[in-house]
């Protein structure tokens, strides 16, 4: 509709702004990420939680993992930035800063011994026999590293690690544990810079380097404010030429917007939801919006009609 593929589904993943990050993410999701029930993936002999606090961000998944450890004797290893409720029953666990997952994986598969690495070296030594004895393993990865400047390296080393263990004859499953709902669904729809629906490669629209866009359309989100200070010069140079905010609640960005469009709130629209397993689920409204409240799709259709475009 806007003739741009500069689309972002989350302002949290600053690491995806790197030119090579999105292609690396696309390869991982289309080549290696499994779209099958988590319960079957948890039957692997070894489960490796990487960069995710499963009991905090995905408590149901954490319960399923705990059950699998009891019923199938699944061996658990954890490397995350924060303590989780499963650390005490894992065979090996350590805390790693977001972005350092790449260094950890490189040491694990390159069999490098670097005493100066301290706890990472100890962790690698502890997990090596566990992985060696396992014929199948599941790698559950969080999104912490996507917020770091090392996101591209992490994505590449995850891909390398999976290929490495498959080459050793192991069955390896990979799945994301997202900390927000429908993240995979948004990515599948092409809500990534330079990506078309179905993970097809597109072309980014020309942009002014390090400059604001001519038009910024914000739908159902509250990005970082563009005018953090009272400096009018800074405010003028940092904001887009036209800011459109399409939201159900009035916030900071709506206060700065050139155009504000009303949106239905959660539970007032039907739609679909893609869970962490890649399964498409139906969402039904639980209440009726105001009689004169257009849906997001109707608003898009009206904009398309005004521009003489085909809404479909």
CA-angle at 279, arms to 33 and 98, nearest 5°: 45
Based on the fold, state whether residues 44 and 110 are members of the same structural domain. yes
Tell me how crowded residue 257 is: count the other CB atoms within 10 A of its CB.
Answer: 21
Q: What's the pLDDT score for residue 229?
A: 47
CA dist list (Å): 312 to 204, 218, 231, 290, 305: 21, 21, 43, 25, 11
Q: How confident is the model at residue 205 (pLDDT cuts 50, 70, 90)?
A: low
**pTM across the whole model:** 0.86
Last residue of a domain, one of 140, 157, 181: 181
Within a domain: 4: no
Percent of the chain, pLDDT > 70?
A: 89
Q: Is the pLDDT of residue 228 over 90?
A: no
What residue numbers bound the domain in which 50 lies?
Answer: 14-181
Q: What total number of domains does the chain contain? A: 2
CATH number for 171: 3.40.228.10
Q: Which residues does 202 contact at the CB level (< 8 Å), separation at least 6?
A: 5, 190, 194, 195, 196
Give pLDDT tens digits for 121-151.
Answer: 899 999 999 999 999 999 999 999 999 999 9
Q: What's the pLDDT score for residue 221?
A: 81
Give pLDDT tens digits for 97-120.
Answer: 999 999 999 999 986 555 555 688
Last residue of a domain, one of 152, 181, 210: 181
Average pLDDT, the chain: 87
Based on the fold, state whether residues 255 and 269 are members of the same structural domain. yes
Within a domain: 312: no
Based on the fold, state whether residues 41 and 141 are members of the same structural domain. yes
Q: Is the pLDDT of residue 206 over 60?
A: no
Based on the fold, state whether residues 302 and 192 are members of the same structural domain. yes
Based on the fold, state whether residues 54 and 161 are members of the same structural domain. yes
The radius of gyration computed from the CA coordinates of the chain, to the nearest angstrom, equals: 22
Least confident of 19-33, 90-104, 209-223, 244-258: 209-223
């Amino acid at each position: 509709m806007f003739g741009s593929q500069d689309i972002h589904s989350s302002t949290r993943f600053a690491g995806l702004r790197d030119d090579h990050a999105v292609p690396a993410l696309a390869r991982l999701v289309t080549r290696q990420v499994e779209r099958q029930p988590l319960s079957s993936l948890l039957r692997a002999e070894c489960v490796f939680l990487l960069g995710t606090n499963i009991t905090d961000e995905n408590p149901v998944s954490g319960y399923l993992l705990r059950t699998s450890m009891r019923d199938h004797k699944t061996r658990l290893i954890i490397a995350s930035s924060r303590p989780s409720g499963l650390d005490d029953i894992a065979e090996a666990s350590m805390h790693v800063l977001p972005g350092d997952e790449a260094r950890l994986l490189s040491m694990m598969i390159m069999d490098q011994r670097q005493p100066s690495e301290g706890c990472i070296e100890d962790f690698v030594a502890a997990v090596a026999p566990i992985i060696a004895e396992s014929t199948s393993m599941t790698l559950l990865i969080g999104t912490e590293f996507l917020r770091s400047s090392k996101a591209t390296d992490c994505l590449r080393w995850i891909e390398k690690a999976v290929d490495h263990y498959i080459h050793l004859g192991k069955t390896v499953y990979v799945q994301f544990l997202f900390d927000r709902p429908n993240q995979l669904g948004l990515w599948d729809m092409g809500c990534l810079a330079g990506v078309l629906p179905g993970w097809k490669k597109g072309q980014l629209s020309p942009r002014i380097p390090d400059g604001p866009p001519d038009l910024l359309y914000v739908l159902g989100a509250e990005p970082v404010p563009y005018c953090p200070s009272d400096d009018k010069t800074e405010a003028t140079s940092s904001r887009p030429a036209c800011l459109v905010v399409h939201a159900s609640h009035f916030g900071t960005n709506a206060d700065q917007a050139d155009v504000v469009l009303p949106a239905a709130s959660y539970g007032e629209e039907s739609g679909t939801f893609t869970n962490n397993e890649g399964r498409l689920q139906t969402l039904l409204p639980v209440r009726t919006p105001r009689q004169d409240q257009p849906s997001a799709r109707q608003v898009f259709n009206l904009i398309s009609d005004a521009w003489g475009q085909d809404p479909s």
